[in-house]
C-alpha cells in the first residue's frame, strides 16, 4: 500500500494523452515506456521509467514526493 488517496494519487501511464488526463485530475503521473518513447513521455510525465521491473513503493513514493514539493 502506498498510502495515497484522491488527488494524492499516483498514475502509471504509457501515453502522453493519459499523462495529460492524470495531470488534469490533479494526480502525479509516472510515464512508462511502452506505446510512446522515452522522449515523448519526458515532456509530459513527472518521471519516466523504461520498465517497472525493480521499481517498488519506495521509489514511487519518492517520485510523488518530489513532484509535490
By mean pLDDT, which of 2-6, 10-14, 33-37 is the weakest? Answer: 2-6
Do residues 31 and 50 touch, judged by C-beta distance below 8 A?
Answer: no
Comparing CA positions, the residue from 30, 26, 21 lying closest to residue 48 is 30
b/e sequence 41-62, b meaning 16+ C-beta within 10 Å? beebbbbbbeeeeeeeeeebee
pLDDT tens, residue by residue, 22-66: 999 899 999 999 999 999 999 999 999 999 999 999 999 999 999
The residues, ordered by sequence, that sit 6+ positions from 52 with a Cβ below 8 Å of its Cβ are 12, 32
Partners of 49 in beta bridges: 32
Amino acid at each position: 500500500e502506498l498510502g495515497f488517496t484522491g488527488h494524492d494519487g499516483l498514475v502509471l501511464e504509457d501515453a502522453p494523452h493519459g499523462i495529460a488526463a492524470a495531470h488534469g485530475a490533479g494526480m502525479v503521473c509516472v510515464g512508462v515506456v511502452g506505446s510512446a518513447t522515452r522522449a515523448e513521455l519526458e515532456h509530459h510525465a513527472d518521471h519516466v521509467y523504461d520498465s517497472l521491473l525493480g521499481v517498488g513503493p519506495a521509489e514511487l513514493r519518492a517520485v510523488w514526493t518530489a513532484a509535490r514539493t
